[in-house]
Amino acid sequence: MIRPKITGTGSAVPQKVLTNFDLEKMVDTSDEWIVARTGIRERRIASEGEYTSTFAALAAQRALEAAGVAPEELDLIVVGTLTPDFPFPATACIVQQIIKAPNAFCFDLSAACSGFIYALATAEKYILSGKVKKALVIGAEVLSRIVDWTDRNTCLLFGDGSGAVVLEAVEGESGVLSTHMHSDGNYWEILYQKGAGSRNPATQKNLDDRLVYLSMQGNEVFKLAVRAMGEVAQEALSANGLTPDDVSLFIPHQANQRIIDSIGKRLGITGERVFVNLDHYGNTSAASIPIALDEAVRAGRLKEGDILLLDAFGGGLTWGAALVRW
């Protein structure tokens, strides 16, 4: 049986570190308050001259090297992001130029923090259709450019970076077992970027009104995220005749430690079976799962035959899960 298999992972984050103690000097907050409510201790922030494509391309190169795949072998590049370099062209096309992958077709996918799961599912379907043999799937963000650094309710949550995987058509039992995606547009206003689109274009007034920054109703997001991520994780397991006890490693979207703990408790997956790097990077949106996956792989947390559960939730609202046999 042909399955889409993850054959290489890579990640890249900025060198610049912004700690909670740095934030204490910027807004009315404290390290103790941030850690207690989010679990975040520091995040990485892009410097001048660094863009979403910068980290996406570097993560891609590392994933290709790990997979032993040359860029010219790629048939597809898809980038999940809500912070592309430009409204157009797609950041995926810029990555294609940087890594020199002339034979791939490329596009971006916007599903906020669920972007990597959506991108992975899209590449999975292309491989299962027989149209694609080797795909590069990337989650990449520079959220620091759309964060209001005067708003203590949001600025402490987010960071920058990218993660990538190489997905190949491989015969055998290992690979992506299934992907599951959902959306509910009734809640789009609880997490979105108000400006810079066609509704509120980048006029001077909209800039002065700070509409270019993201807006979030944190309490509502929390409640919906826990429920939705728990349900879609169960959906993925049930679709494959598995239970939470079968999961070797659970990598949830790294948004908030309390969300991660609540979902783990709901599923009965706790302790060492849950991979968390939120404390170092904050919420990197579409990049959070692939960055965590790359770190888990390089730390030896996955072995052949392990069941890996990926689970995300983001603006839209969107949510999704993927189940993988390593």
pLDDT in tens, 162-193: 999 999 999 999 999 999 999 999 999 999 99
Q: Is residue 196 left, alpha or beta, with left meaning phi > 0 and alpha meaning psi from -120 to 50? A: left
Active site residue 283: yes
Last residue of a domain, one of 132, 155, 173: 173
Q: What's 288's DSSP letter?
A: H
d(CA 319, CA 4): 21
CA angle (152 as vertex; 217, 14 as ends), nearest 5: 100
Find the distance separating the first CA and the last CA of the chain, reported in whole Å: 15
d(CA 89, CA 103): 17
β-strands 191-193, 76-80 pairing: unpaired
Q: What's 93's DSSP letter?
A: H
Question: Residues 110, 209: one domain?
Answer: no
* pLDDT band (50, 70, 90) for residue 202: confident
d(CA 249, CA 316): 27
Catalytic site residue from 93, 106, 155, 283:
283
pLDDT, tens digit (0-9, with 9 covering 90-100), for 47-106:
999 999 999 999 999 999 999 999 999 999 999 999 999 999 999 999 999 999 999 999
Torsion of CA 195, 197, 203, 208, to 10 degrees: 10
Catalytic site residue from 113, 155, 180, 256:
113
Active site residue 253: yes
Question: Residues 191, 148: one domain?
Answer: no
Could you tell me the residue range of the domain that residue 265 belongs to?
177-325
Last residue of a domain, one of 173, 193, 223: 173
pLDDT, tens digit (0-9, with 9 covering 90-100), for 267-293:
999 999 999 999 999 999 999 999 999
Looking at residues 236-258, what average pLDDT do you find? 98
Element (H, E) at 260: helix 257-267
pLDDT at 1: 85
Average pLDDT, the chain: 97
Last residue of a domain, one of 173, 201, 231: 173
